[in-house]
Amino acid sequence: MTENKKTVQKYMEGFMESNHDKILSCLSENILSEMPGIFQLTGKEAFDKEIENDLFVGSPAIHIIRMVEEDNVVVAEGSVKCEMKAGGVVDALFCDVFHMENGKIKQLTTYQMNK
């Protein structure tokens, strides 16, 4: 597994453990994270505030189906399940596009579709 894929794997594990330090160690200082049409975050501080979003309870269950890499871009495809505070569960498929720089995530675009 490449270093970039290892960083993405560590990032995903951090979310499943709700481990802020582990997640943040994978990010560049000026991380740009977006879900087109939903949100856009810039910087580690903004990202840190969303790790445990107020809409959800506990840690998500993430299953990575595949990861592919080319030219410092890692694409991770998988599924995520998380309980919502207001009731119900998010059960979705995702495709995350990670732009890497020096082994860190510098840009993340998330595409998500509820099952």
What is the domain partition of the chain in residue ranges?
3-114
Asked if the 3-114 domain carries CATH number 3.10.450.50, the reply is yes
Report whether pLDDT(54) > 90: no
pLDDT interval class at 51 (50, 70, 90): confident
What does pTM read for this prediction? 0.94
Cα–Cα distance, 55 to 104 (Å, whole number):
27
pLDDT interval class at 14 (50, 70, 90): very high
Residue 23 DSSP symbol: H
Report whether pLDDT(53) > 90: no
What is the distance of C-alpha 17 from the center of its chain? 13
Report whether pLDDT(52) > 90: no
Q: What is the pLDDT of residue 55?
A: 85
Specify the pairing of strand 27-35 against strand 104-114: parallel
Which residues fall within 8 angstroms of residue 39, CB to CB, at 6 or more apart? 50
First to last CA, the chain: 29
Q: In the chain, what percentage of residues exceed pLDDT 70?
A: 100
Cα–Cα distance, 93 to 83 (Å, whole number):
15
